[in-house]
Amino acid sequence: MAEETNIKETDSIIEDNNTVNSDSPDSKILNQEEIDSLLGYSNNDDIDYASDKTGFRAILNSSMVSYERLPMLEIVFDRLIRLMATSLRNYTQDNVEVSLDSIESMRFGEYIDSLTLPTLLNVFKAEEWDNYGLMSLDSSLIYSMVDVLLGGRRGTAAMRIEGRPYTTIELNIVKEMIQLILSDLSTAFDPITSVSFAFDRLETNPRFATISRLSNAVIVAHLRIDMEDRGGKIDLMIPYATLEPVRELLLQMFMGERFGRDTIWENHLMSQLWETDVEIKAVLKETNIKLGEISTWEKGSFLPLDIPPTEQISIVCGDVPLLKGSMGRKDSHIVIRVDGKAEKDV
């Protein structure tokens, strides 16, 4: 009986300890929602893939994605919106306002996943850089542009018909507008470098518009076009690999850095160069002599150079040959007549 009583008391103590441990605030069990929040996942990730992440997911993405800032590219896009506003006003004969919403860097796969379908994708090529870029136009902009060019009434939003592909007329209108924007983009790059952006093809499926690896870095400029109560969005996506040939130019902080010219410093340098004294030497002849022969020289030793009267003499500055000429005499001075520039050894 005594043993049974001890066993019961022991079981009671264990149960009491378990109860205390489960009720203690330090042993709280996280539910699935709290775990997802801690890791940076949510139920809306499929809908809003491009939104900012939190938790461990944000830490991982920030360490894996690090893109450099290109100051001159921001100036290029600023010039582009001014050029586009003028071009589209002349094209539509309507009041068109173009604005730059944002410029961001991301992976190509993230950008493709963030596209809202239906959308029209234009693949264009940078001829001089031998690489590609992507321009996406949302359906509201396409229908608005078609409505404006075909005489739609003002004050009414463009009608959007779901479930049908774009017609030939709509595609031709969009293609002409895209070529206009690409021409403005080429003009916007002119102060930096000369480049021509050429229309390549139109796609409606993002899978067929893959111009880069999904993990490659791209820069995306989000533009907004407003025509009174109509309009839409345009995204200009350029991979960093496309911009690589002009990366050094785009890293500069201001336009004057590209030229690197200072007229005041140039004039001062030129004036000082004309007053600079430079020591030059006339080399009559160069010959190779063995060290053993030099060791036998004494005072009064004779070194024949065997220089004929027509031998050319080299005029050098340091180790750099400058001129060649012939030696002669004028009055009581030995002079050299310059015959031309010296030939540099390759």
Residue 304 has pLDDT above 80, yes or no: no
**Domain end point (choices 232, 259, 286):** 259
Distance between CA atoms of residues 19 and 151, nearest Å:
78
Residue 234, token pair as written in the block: 């345009």
**58 part of a folded domain:** yes
Residue-level pLDDT at 20: 44
Find the CATH number of the domain harbouring 169: 3.40.1550.10
**12 part of a folded domain:** no
Residue-level pLDDT at 45: 44
**235 part of a folded domain:** yes
Strand 281-283's sheet: what is its strand order?
281-283, 313-317, 320-330, 333-341
286 and 330 co-located in one domain: yes
125 and 245 co-located in one domain: yes
Tell me the pLDDT of the chain averaged across its residues.
77
239 and 118 co-located in one domain: yes
Residue-level pLDDT at 163: 59
Each residue of 267-285: pLDDT tens digit?
Answer: 888 888 888 888 888 888 7
* 46 confidence band (pLDDT: 50, 70, 90): very low
CA atoms lying within 13 Å on the CB side of residue 144: 24
Residue-level pLDDT at 251: 78
Across 65-79, 130-144, 153-167, 258-272, which has the greatest mean pLDDT? 130-144
Across 159-168, 280-289, 337-346, which has the greatest mean pLDDT? 280-289
The answer to whether 143 and 166 have CB atoms below 8 angstroms apart is no
132 and 233 co-located in one domain: yes
Residue-level pLDDT at 53: 53
Count other C-beta atoms under 10 Å from residue 154's C-beta.
11
User: What does pTM read for this prediction?
Assistant: 0.55
85 and 105 co-located in one domain: yes
Residue-level pLDDT at 19: 46
104 and 244 co-located in one domain: yes
133 and 50 co-located in one domain: no
235 and 308 co-located in one domain: no
Each residue of 212-248: pLDDT tens digit?
Answer: 888 888 888 899 988 877 888 888 998 888 888 888 7
40 and 130 co-located in one domain: no
Residue 81, token pair as written in the block: 């919106």
Helix (H) or strand (E) holding 280: none
* 64 confidence band (pLDDT: 50, 70, 90): very low
Residue-level pLDDT at 262: 60
Spatial CB neighbours of 184, under 8 Å, sequence gap ≥ 6: 80, 83, 84, 87
Residue-level pLDDT at 61: 52
Read off the amino acid at residue 66: S
Quote the domain boundaries for residue 49. 33-64
* Residue in the block written with tokens 């094209």: 91
Residue-level pLDDT at 41: 60
Residue 21 has pLDDT above 60, yes or no: no
Distance between CA atoms of residues 50 and 63, nearest Å:
17
* 13 confidence band (pLDDT: 50, 70, 90): very low
Residue-level pLDDT at 154: 63
Residue-level pLDDT at 43: 55
**15 part of a folded domain:** no
Find the CATH number of the domain harbouring 317: 2.30.330.10
Residue 52 has pLDDT above 80, yes or no: no
**45 part of a folded domain:** yes
177 and 312 co-located in one domain: no
3-state per-residue secondary structure call for 116-164: CCCEEEEEEEECCCCEEEEEEEEHHHHHHHHHHHCCCCCCCCCCCCCCC
Lowest mean pLDDT among 22-31, 75-84, 105-114, 213-222: 22-31
**114 part of a folded domain:** yes
- CA nearest neighbour of 336 among 279, 281, 286: 281
Residue 294 has pLDDT above 60, yes or no: yes
Each residue of 115-137: pLDDT tens digit?
Answer: 877 788 889 998 888 889 999 98
238 and 344 co-located in one domain: no
Residue-level pLDDT at 65: 47
Cα dihedral across residues 36, 110, 136, 102: positive or negative: positive
Residue-level pLDDT at 24: 47
Number of domains within the chain? 3
130 vs 25, 73, 289, CA distance in Å? Answer: 63, 19, 58
**103 part of a folded domain:** yes
196 vs 69, 190, 191, 285, 333, CA distance in Å? Answer: 23, 10, 13, 57, 64
**Domain end point (choices 21, 41, 64):** 64
125 and 57 co-located in one domain: no
State whether residue 282 is helix, strand or coil: strand
Is the peptide bond preceding residue 118 cis, with omega within 30 degrees of 0? yes
Residue-level pLDDT at 138: 86
Each residue of 81-105: pLDDT tens digit?
Answer: 999 889 988 888 888 888 888 888 8
Instruction: Supply the DSSP symbol for 208.
Output: G
Residue 333, token pair as written in the block: 């001075």
**7 part of a folded domain:** no
